[in-house]
Every structure is written in C-alpha cells, then in structure tokens.
Amino acid sequence: MSFVTNFQRLLLASPRFNVKHVMAENSDYADTVLKSKNCYYSFCVFYCEDVYYARYSRKCVSCNGITFCVECEWCTECVDCQRCYNSHYCQDCQNCSDCSFCKDCFGCRNCFGCAGLHQKEYHLFNEKLSKEEYEKRMGQLNLQEFAHRSLVEERVRVLRKKTPNLAIHQFMTESCIGDHLTQCKGSHQCFDSFNNEDCAYCIETNGNKDCVDLTVCFENELCAHCVQSTMNHNCDHIIFTDQSNDCAFSAYLRGCKYCFGCANLDRQEYHILNVPVPPEKYEETVTELRKELHAAKMHNLNLFFVSDYERKRLQTETDPVIVNTVPSL
C-alpha cells in the first residue's frame, strides 16, 4: 500500500478537533485562539483580551465585532484598523480616537463620517467644525432610529465614493509588497498579516519569520506550505500542527519532532506514518518518500484533501487538473 494511501487512512482514523486553542484562557466558544483570554465567538485572534465576535485580530482589548484589527481598544464594528481607541464602524483607520463611520483616516480625533483625513479633529462628514459646534451637531444625531441611521450611512457611502481610496494599506512596514500589512519587514506578496519578517506568499499570518506560503499561521520559523499551524520550527506541508520541530506532511501534531506522514500524535519523535523509526533510518526513509511524492506530483497539500466533503469542494471550486492529482481511497 502506498505512502499516500496509508497517510490518508491515518487522517480518517481519528475525529478532528472542533476548536483550536494554544495558551488560551476562558475562550471556550472561540476557535483558533492564541495567547488570549476571555474571547467569545471569535476566530483567529491572538494576544487579545475581552474580545467578542471578532475575526483575525491581534493585541486588541475590550472590542466587539472587529475584523483584521491590531492594538485597538474599546472599538466596535471596525475593519482593518490599527491602534484606534473608542472608535466605531471605521475601516482602514490608524491611530484614531473617538471616531465613527470613518475610512482611510490617520491620526484623527473626534471625527464622524469622514474619509481620507490626516491629523484632523472635530470634523463631521469631512467638514471642519469648532468643538462646540461639533458636540452640538453630534448631540442631534440619533443612530438608534433606523431611518436616521440609514440617512447617515447613505451620506457616508456617497462621501466615500467621492474620496480617493488608498490602493495599498501598510502600517509600520519596511520593504514589503502586499496589502493590509502591519509591522512587517521584508515580506513579499503577503496579505492581512502582522509582524512577519522575511516571509513570502502568506495570508492571515502573524509573527512568522523566514517562512513561505502560510495560511492562518502564527509564530513559525523556517516553515513552508503550512495551514492553521502555530509555533513550529523547520516544518513543511503541515496542517493544524503546533509547537513542533522538523516535521513534514503531517496533521494534528503537538510538541513533536522528526515526524513524517503522521497524524494525531502528541510529543513523539522519529515517527513515519505514526510508526516509530530508528533515528539513523529516519532521514534515509524520508528522502525516498519525498522522491516518491515528487514523482507522483503529490509533493504538495493536495493529499490532505481526503474526506468526501473536501473532495467535493475540490471538484466544485478548483481546477479539474488539480482534482485529478488527488487519489481516492
């Protein structure tokens, strides 16, 4: 029986865990939570505290309904915002406080319904007001009333259409190519990523170094072709693997070293297809298996798509040429 068939049988042999927590506290109703506490119904959050209904945000505190936000506090319904405080319904804003319904604003305070402003204060729909006039007109707004709120949202929409939109959103980056990058350095074709260094082709990643082709991965080093994996070193072609070293073509590992083609192992070393192998035989066997995978055009993540659900997704969402390279049991 081939390596691919044996590996896929291992993937189907045990139930997959329903949530992923790494060093998380009191976040039972959240998934993919890293070094966070008190998160509820949130997904892909790390270093966060008291965050609710959030997705892929970092170092945020006391926020609700945020997506791709970094170091925000007391914010609600914000998207792609960095270091904002007490701001609501904002998008692509940085270093703003007490702002609402704003887009592409930087270093602003007390602004409402604005777009494309820099270092401004007391603006309403991009109109400069005195502090007294701003507070007076803000007091006349009633966002709890549906009709009134709809008028505000329509005016904001029209203003945003008239204001040029930034093509690239990067914050505190150096030598980077990509969009929505924060505190990254030397990253190429990366998107929605934070604190990466010398990485390429990564999406929704955080704190990685010298890595390539990662998706939803955090604090990895010298890793390639990984999905939903955390705090690994020198690993490639892994999914849902945490705190492991020198592992490849494996899934659902934790604290493992030198494992190839393994699944659902905890703190094991020198295993191939979940079977112990003498250290002196490990490298030689792995080299031969990699050659077989290359020859079969399976030296990629396709062999992980083994369940009926995953194969159906490949058939409906992927190029047929790729589907034909995925063997079935």
Contacts 24+ apart (CB under 8 A), 43-46: 44/204, 44/216, 46/206, 46/207, 46/218
Per-residue confidence (pLDDT) for residue 325, from 0 to 100: 56
Q: How many helices (H) and strands (E) does the chain have?
A: 6, 20
Query: Which one is predicted more confidently, 127 or 301?
Result: 127
Cβ–Cβ < 8 Å for 138, 123: no
Whether 279 and 268 have beta carbons less than 8 Å apart is answered as no
Kindly report which listed range (109-113, 191-195, 305-309, 320-324) carries the lowest average pLDDT score. 320-324
In this prediction, residues 149-161 reach a mean pLDDT of 90
pLDDT for 308: 78
Residue 236 has what pLDDT? 97
pLDDT greater than 80 at residue 171: yes
Q: How confident is the model over 259-318, as pLDDT tens digits?
A: 999 999 999 999 999 999 999 999 999 999 999 999 988 898 888 888 777 777 767 765
41-93: pLDDT as tens digits: 999 999 999 999 999 999 999 999 999 999 999 999 999 999 999 999 999 99
pLDDT in tens, 109-122: 999 999 999 999 99
The mean of the pLDDT values for the chain is: 92
Helices 3-13, 279-295: inter-axial angle, 10-degree rounding = 100
